[in-house]
Amino acid sequence: MLWGGRFKKSLNKEAFNFSSSLGFDISLINEDITGSIAHAEMLSKVGIITADEFSQIKTGLERILSEYSNGSWIPDISEYEDVHSAVESRLTEIIGDTAGKLHTGRSRNDQIATDIKLWIRNKCDEIISLLVDAQKTFLELAKDNTETIIPGYTHMQRAQPVSFAFHLLAYMEMFERDKKRFGYVKELLNESPLGSGALAGSTLPLDRNFTSNKLGFAKPTNNSLDSVSDRDYILDFLNACSTGMLHLSRFAEEIVLWSTSEWKFIRLSDEYSTGSSLMPQKKNPDMAELTRGKTGRILGNYISLATTIKGLPLSYNRDLQEDKEPLFDSFNTYSEALKMASGMAATVEINKNRFIDELEGDFSLATDLADWIVLQGIPFRKAHEIVGNVVKYLEERGRNFNNITPDELISINPVFNSSAVDYLKIKTALERKKTFGSPNPLFVSEMITNWEKILA
């Protein structure tokens, strides 16, 4: 125990088990030791401990990390409250009483806040790297499908044709925003809480600028009361994970739809599919379904911590121990889901000609026909009505745009002439797009080139 001098009785065993966090905060051991070495070096710099004592502490801490990494030292969760007490106890076993000087001027309150900031900073970099991997995979798939025409949807009804490459580039934009979001998380947490103590700083001449610089922070935090109770950076990280997971869930939903017998658009690799224990013919998109399902848990993690924080008075309260499990879970789940998305995209087979025949006579070019009428000088609202009449005329006869004649169009409305039917050809539909950001193949190719430069 790192406390207990004023207590007459030891902590009840069940109370100890209830309050112990070692089972999950051991994940912070690397950051805990990194912060402790920086703190010890600062204590040596300001003359609170000697250079020799710092050397002993540093060597001991590095040994502990090595022992934990190679499995020769695994702290017993029934013996220690948390990662901090486990490390300090082991350090005492290695270097003796000098270990007791490490905690000088430091509380577990500022220690854990520093640990978590260091951990999140590292994990933001890992996630950004995974997002880049996903972008590269999606981009390769897009490059191979610039001529693959698919229906674009609104309200889950066919709306207008797009290319599959254009569709995939939408996810490239989502992933790019995700990268920026995690970069913003790193920017916001870039202040060191170390040296804030329990809540009111220290009477010792601690050099907070030294430890801040040593740990790679921009500056020390301004207010020690806020420093030890602030968990905004965790909420920011959880929010970034939640938004990123929502994007993956949308992709997963499309994977599920595209792989059905009704859509027949993609075939998932066996590597990312499962079978049925009863039905031999089944090939299920379980990785996509699990991604969709796990999204709820990540959203719940954000709500869980936000609910914990909302009623807490300043400064530190033990409730904040509940910040770590949702944090670790969201990172682990989201990072694994990113790998699944990349894996599915890298190995999927695309039925490139799936929609060509269906879209050739489909009503998804109705807006194009209305645009043609607008170019004849007719107000769009009137053009909308005219095309609606054309659609009604064809539906009543069980026909579509594929076989309507110029004469029929003219009989419906004299605004039409023979050139109108050219706007009803699916193979040239995308080339007619004029606006930047549309699925015009030239714009799509330019965006692919631009993404290649960004990801290089």
Q: What is the DSSP string of 209-239?
A: HHHHHHTT-SEE-S-HHHHHH--HHHHHHHH
182 and 327 inside one domain: yes
Pick 15 or 7 by higher pLDDT. 15
3 assigned to some structural domain: no
Q: Choose the catalytic residue: 72, 155, 261, 277.
A: 155
137 and 100 inside one domain: no
Indicate the pTM of the whole model.
Answer: 0.94
Verify whether residue 276 is a known catalytic residue. Answer: yes
- The pair of structure tokens assigned to 46 is 């300001």
The stretch 61-79 carries a mean pLDDT of 96
pLDDT tens-digit readout, 99-128: 999 999 999 999 999 999 999 999 999 999
The CATH number for 88's domain is 1.10.275.10
2 assigned to some structural domain: no
Is 325 a residue whose pLDDT tops 50?
A: yes
pLDDT of residue 1: 55
Instruction: For residue 80, give every residue at least 6 positions away whose Cβ sits within 8 Å of its Cβ, in sequence order, or none.
Output: 20, 22, 86, 89
Domain of 235 in residue numbering reads as 109-354
27 and 95 inside one domain: yes
237 and 317 inside one domain: yes
The stretch 210-214 carries a mean pLDDT of 98
1 assigned to some structural domain: no
- Count of structural domains within the chain: 3
The CATH number for 259's domain is 1.20.200.10
255 and 178 inside one domain: yes
94 and 114 inside one domain: no
Give strand ranges (E) for 53-210.
149-154, 157-163, 191-192
The stretch 62-82 carries a mean pLDDT of 95
175 assigned to some structural domain: yes
Is 140 a residue whose pLDDT tops 70?
A: yes
pLDDT of residue 3: 43
Q: Across the chain, what does the average pLDDT equal?
A: 95
Of 77, 104, 131, the domain-final residue: 104
The stretch 195-224 carries a mean pLDDT of 98
158 and 252 inside one domain: yes
- Give the range among 183-197, 253-267, 349-363 with minimum mean pLDDT: 349-363
Pick 414 or 4 by higher pLDDT. 414
98 and 242 inside one domain: no
**CA Rg value for the chain:** 30
159 and 278 inside one domain: yes
Of 78, 104, 130, the domain-final residue: 104
In contact, 180 and 112? CB cutoff 8 Å = no
4 assigned to some structural domain: no
What percent of the chain lies above the pLDDT cut of 90? Answer: 91
The stretch 390-410 carries a mean pLDDT of 94
Alpha-carbon span 281 to 270, nearest angstrom: 13
User: 2 falls in which pLDDT band (50, 70, 90)?
Assistant: low
120 and 100 inside one domain: no
Pick 323 or 12 by higher pLDDT. 323
Is 8 a residue whose pLDDT tops 70?
A: no
The stretch 273-290 carries a mean pLDDT of 94
5 assigned to some structural domain: no
Alpha-carbon span 428 to 446, nearest angstrom: 18
Q: Choose the catalytic residue: 10, 78, 276, 411.
A: 276
